[in-house]
Copies of this chain bind each other. A is one copy, B any other.
Amino acid sequence: MSFPPRYRAKSRVDASGEESRAKAVAVATELFALAGYRGTSVAAVAARTGLSQSGLLHHFPSKAALLAAVLEDRDRQDGAFLAGTTSAPLGWAAFDALTALVARNSTRPELVGLFVRLSAEAIEPAHPAHAWVQQHHAGIRTWLAEAVRTGVERGEFAADAPVGSIVRTTIAVVDGLQQQWLLQPEEVSMAAEFEVFVSALRARWGTAG
């Protein structure tokens, strides 16, 4: 949805407000990635953003609102990337798109750190990102399951390919490699390891066609 330009025209104050908002989201991403949501205070985000605490609360009425903005920002970036170049990749092409996403994540340690920290923290049902984590996993599962089912229909995957298990192990590899990479960024190539995994899937359930 996009508004006519005249509605988008901003006064200098609005433009600088937008800037502060974006900066706060970037700072919060970094701090949540490092110390977790629970371990990060609104005061720390405000200080690093260069705002007073009430200035920050003007943009985000609570720490949970700030978290929501951080997560939306992350999902927008990933969604745009996956939907972007190839249009809704299906069959094995979905695994190529995932490999590209994994390679791209290798350039974004702060976003990967955020995801790893929050995914673990938010297993706790009372965590404000709990619903997000559940939805995030469900979204990837739905997309990937459709891609594999289409691959079966097209004859790219064997007819007896266990769709659910392929989907779950694929997501597990992506998530698990992120942790290992954060611990040893110099020694782990997430994309190379992921390709090795995909080659095993192809050997087991790929067809010649």
CA gap between A205 and B177 in the complex, in Å = 20
- Cβ–Cβ < 8 Å partners of A166 in chain B: 196
Please report the total number of A residues contacting B with Cβ < 8 Å.
45
Selected interface stretch from A44-52, A61-69, A142-150, A178-186: A178-186
Question: Is A54 close to B, CB under 8 A?
Answer: no
Whether the pair A168, B182 counts as a contact (CB closer than 8 A) is no
Bound: A139/B155 CA distance, A:
41
Residues of B within 8 A of A36 (CB): 36, 38, 120-121
User: A200 at the A/B interface (Cβ < 8 Å)?
Assistant: yes
* A157 → B minimal CB distance (Å): 12
- Complex Cα distance A174/B165, Å? 13
Contact between chains at B133 and A123 (CB < 8 Å): no
Least CB distance from A193 to B in Å reads 5
Any B CB within 8 A of the CB of A113:
yes
Of the candidates A35, A137, A182, A183, the one having the most CB atoms from chain B within 10 angstroms of its own CB is A183
With beta carbons under 8 angstroms apart, the residue of B121, B137, B176 that contacts A172 is: B176
Complex Cα distance, B39 from A121, in Å, reads: 10
Asked whether A183 lies within 8 Å of B137 as measured between CB atoms, the reply is yes
A83 at the interface (CB under 8 A from B): no
Q: How far is the CB of A120 from chain B (nearest CB, A)?
A: 3
Residue numbers in B under 8 Å from A117 (CB-CB): 120-121, 123
- Chain A positions within 8 Å of B, measured between CB atoms, are 34-36, 38-39, 113, 116-117, 119-121, 123-124, 133-134, 137, 162, 165-166, 168-169, 171-177, 179-180, 182-183, 188, 192-194, 196-197, 199-205
In the A-B complex, the 3 residue pairs with the closest CB atoms: A172-B176, A120-B120, A203-B204
